[in-house]
A and B are shown apart, each in its own frame.
Chain A
Amino acid sequence: MRYLPLTPEDRAEMLGVIGVKSIDDLFVDVPASARRDAPVDLPRFAGELDVEREMTALARRNRSAGEGPFFCGAGAYRHHVPATVDHIIQRSEFLTSYTPYQPEIAQGTLQVLFEFQTQVAALTGMEVANASLYDGSTGAAEAVMMAHRVTRRSKAVMSGGVHPHYVGAIETLAHAAGVETARMPAAIDAEDAVIAAIDADTACVVVQTPNVFGTVTDVTKIAEAAHAAGALLIVVTTEAVSYGLLKSPGEMGADIAVAEGQSIGNGLNFGGPYVGLFACKEKFVRQMPGRLCGETVDADGKRGFVLTLSTREQHIRRDKATSNICTNSGLCALAFSIHMSLLGEVGLRKLAGLNHQKALALRDALAAVPGYEILTPRFFNEFAVRVPGNAAELVETLASHGALFGVPFSRLDASAGMDDVLLVAATETTLDVDITFLTKLLTKVVGQ
């Protein structure tokens, strides 16, 4: 067994040093009724070649995004990740280290986190950011809990444009903690509708821009309304590349900005692991969930970095912690940070511009196909389109012709009565020929 260095002779010698006869003597505390004399009923160990064969066979049964025209978004986006990113994150010192609890021998991880926090704060236009959370959806749920702690109020109002899976994650956490939630009906362009639902019990308003239908909204007015009522504004973004083109949550008055960071540095990975970006105003920092890295000096006065303000966290505060989180998404945050520092502001703005340009081309092409109606008025790189008939069935049909067209809204929210609404996205990876192939296919399918 290639991962186990002990030889039978080693084992025998070590048992002798310990002073027992067999390995079973070390498991004597296990109740007799639960002891197993033989391995469980699963296959025996396998060599690398065999494992690789089996895994490859499973992988082949999936249609990967790179195999043909691909237009899926809805919270997970296909972007090009520079080769450098994947090379660096596979370095032993990053891949196989633990949470940086011993800062003297973890400055690599800690400095990356400090740089990551600065990048995220800049992108979101906020004052401080943490060292990442599991993903955007759990980050949104944590943001609601944080607003509950800051305002000591127990109601969260969510717009109809918040990604339904995010709504689900928020509801799970909020309801567990006794926080009431009110969600506006799913709507393509009505983030402002939350204003009417704000009352004296409202802890926070959750809006999304670009929202799940792709609609971009200036949420300044919503921020003003929330603040006037003593509530916080949480702005959710699922496509972090959009920060390169659009006004940031901070510029629009957000108190907490939450985003899915997958788009930068991280692949689709069938939905995870991703990386949650979480930023807020400085005055709320002690109510933030998750890890924070801060600057300090060592005994010789040299600059260094440590995990800080950890009294908020579970290992110290236990049942009074701000959150039960004890993991961040370290390696995904590293990938994000490397990609971001390769892009720089110059590259990010270009990348965002290209994404928007490709989406405009896709819109123009789809608008020209009879029977298709563009529903999203203002968008970054994705939008909703009304298709003739059932969107889920259409997507299946197109998949059988080699195109992954988009995400039917009904897949996210079956109860909204939007069975003919499809969410489509384009990124810098989208080719003009992909769009041409798609429209030709649609014309053919509709024509049948």
Chain B
Amino acid sequence: MSMNNVGRPTRPETANDAGGHETLTGGRGLLQDEALIFELNGWTKTGVDLPDAAAPSSDLAGLLRSEPIGLPGLSEPEAVRHYVRLSQKNHAIDLALYPLGSCTMKHNPRLNEKMARLPGFSDIHPLQPQSTVQGALQLMDRLAHWLKTLTGMPAVALSPKAGAHGELCGLLAIRAAHEAAGNGHRKTVLAPTSAHGTNPATAAFVGYTVVEIAQTEDGRVDLKDLEAKLGDHVAAIMVTNPNTCGLFERDVVEIARLTHAAGAYFYCDGANFNAIVGRVRPGDLGVDAMHINLHKTFSTPHGGGGPGAGPVVLSEALAPFAPTPWLVHDAGGFSLVEHAGEAGAETAFGRMSAFHGQMGMYVRAYAYMLSHGADGLRQVAEDAVLNANYVKARLKDVMSPAFPDGPCMHEALFDDSWLEGTGVTTLDFAKAMIDEGFHPMTMYFPLVVHGAMLIEPTETESKQELDRFIEALRALAGAAKAGDAERFKGAPFHAPLRRLDETLAARKPRLRWKPVAEAPLAAE
């Protein structure tokens, strides 16, 4: 036979060093250390080829920037590498389950991205003649129709740019309605202790005093306490439903009745609308205003922290006070009423921001709606709730559900009583999840549950992925109870970085790179 025996080895050698192997450069396989753009000596570089410009006109004498700005440039290959390397240090829903309760990390369909990039949506100016953007206005009108139909509410203000901006919009409409009715003295907002931090922040921002409503043992609004605190001084209640404990407010109809009887409005925080979309219409529950986070229920991408979009649906009583622009439709087509006080928007409370809102997010959300349809959206809610209850059922023997009785909605809430005596905290447990390849759940929220762990799997997860996640959590729970605290205390060990010193960051804030080298920060 002829034999070629000069090839490479095709089996791994026996490992002689099982762990703790430090590399010489700090790089680890596919994971590279990456300098800041300011450290790449790009002060005279550019990655954009532009023709030379003539000298500026003499009109601008004395107004020109003469000092160096201090901005490095990167050639295109350097830029691509820089950002791709950085990207690989991020967890993402496209990588694995991302069970952040209350945040709703679900799949972002790529069709929506493609649609948002059609020049007819992405390359149109907000102030070009309305006759030239009839398709954009029609899309806004259809999105509004879907939102109104799904919520059973008569009106929607599309322009708020995020959930918290929507809350502000809703409370301003409520305030305007009270003032128009001579009830400007109503200055109190009631909100449960379990509320999102944005609720009290928004209420305080518009000059309202926040009074907390007690919670019952089973995680719902305490009706007696609510009734006792309602009165002629109350402008509104702010209640999240399903609430931040992942539970449906069973008495929501009664909550609405009591609120209205006291002359106040019912603001519903719609952050968890994804649990009930297509199955329950907030309008049937007596809600007066509710924001909808398009990035939660209708899957516009979270993008590492935005942009969001927070349209607010409004009842008949509040609709006249909605902010401009208003979209109107007549024989001539669609048009925008852009100024408060103008014919058609006489009672609008004002404007939330420049232009007409988050069009790019509207396009994505509308594509998501069309893809799912009424039946698909209902299935979304059902699968989200099913997945959460499945997680709860399969973990209840090793972890402690905060509200063991009855079903949860789209998220399963656990407290840390099951970790007692293990020396492992909720935070340690979460950091160990990172080593297992999962993003931690929401921790220490809601505030009403000790060491809270709020798991929201969403409808995106297959049963196989859920089982993989559940097995990982069960294994970790077993390790914690078996006294393997080391696995948790130092975690994560396998992430791009180990645990970060947040105290140091806050005590000695370094919020930008500086041209003169600073002494390296050292842990205390």
Contact = CB atoms under 8 A, between A and B. Distances in A.
B418 interface: no
Contact of B68 (A28, A105, A345): A345
Interface in B127-162: 127-129, 131-136, 138-139, 146, 149-150, 161-162
B126 A46 contact: no
Nearest to B109: A3
Interface size class of A (residues with CB under 8 A): 35 or more
Contact of B358 (A52, A171, A273, A395): A273
A104 B393 contact: no
Given A96-B93, A378-B60, A122 B70 contact: yes
Contacts of A108: 86-90, 304
Nearest to B523: A297
B307 A327 contact: yes
Given A135-B354, A297-B501, A344-B73, A48 B128 contact: no
A352 B79 CA distance: 21
A52 to B, nearest CB: 7
A11 B386 contact: yes
A111 B124 CA distance: 32
A293 B117 CA distance: 30
14 contacts: A17-B394, A52-B111, A59-B115, A107-B89, A115-B36, A137-B354, A177-B206, A245-B65, A270-B136, A272-B358, A302-B498, A314-B201, A342-B76, A350-B46
Interface stretch (A74-82, A193-201, A365-373, A433-441): A74-82
A228 interface: no
B350 A172 contact: yes
Interface string B260-287: 0000000000000000101111001100
Interface stretch (B8-16, B222-230, B479-487, B504-512): B504-512
A295 B510 contact: yes
B504 A296 contact: yes
Contacts of B201: 314, 317-319, 321, 323-324
Contact of B123 (A58, A64, A100): A64
Contacts of B205: 173, 176-177, 323-324
A320 B279 CA distance: 37
A303 B521 contact: yes
A267 B163 CA distance: 23
B460 A5 contact: yes
B450 interface: no
SS class, residues of chain B in contact with chain A: loop
Contacts of B149: 40-42
Contacts of A66: 119, 123
Interface string B73-105: 110100110111011111111110010100101
A253 interface: no
Given A44-B373, A96-B108, A273-B361, A115 B70 contact: no
A346 B520 contact: no
Contacts of A35: 279-280
Contacts of A44: 373-376
Contacts of A134: 161-162, 165, 306-307, 353
A104 B430 CA distance: 12
Nearest to B100: A98
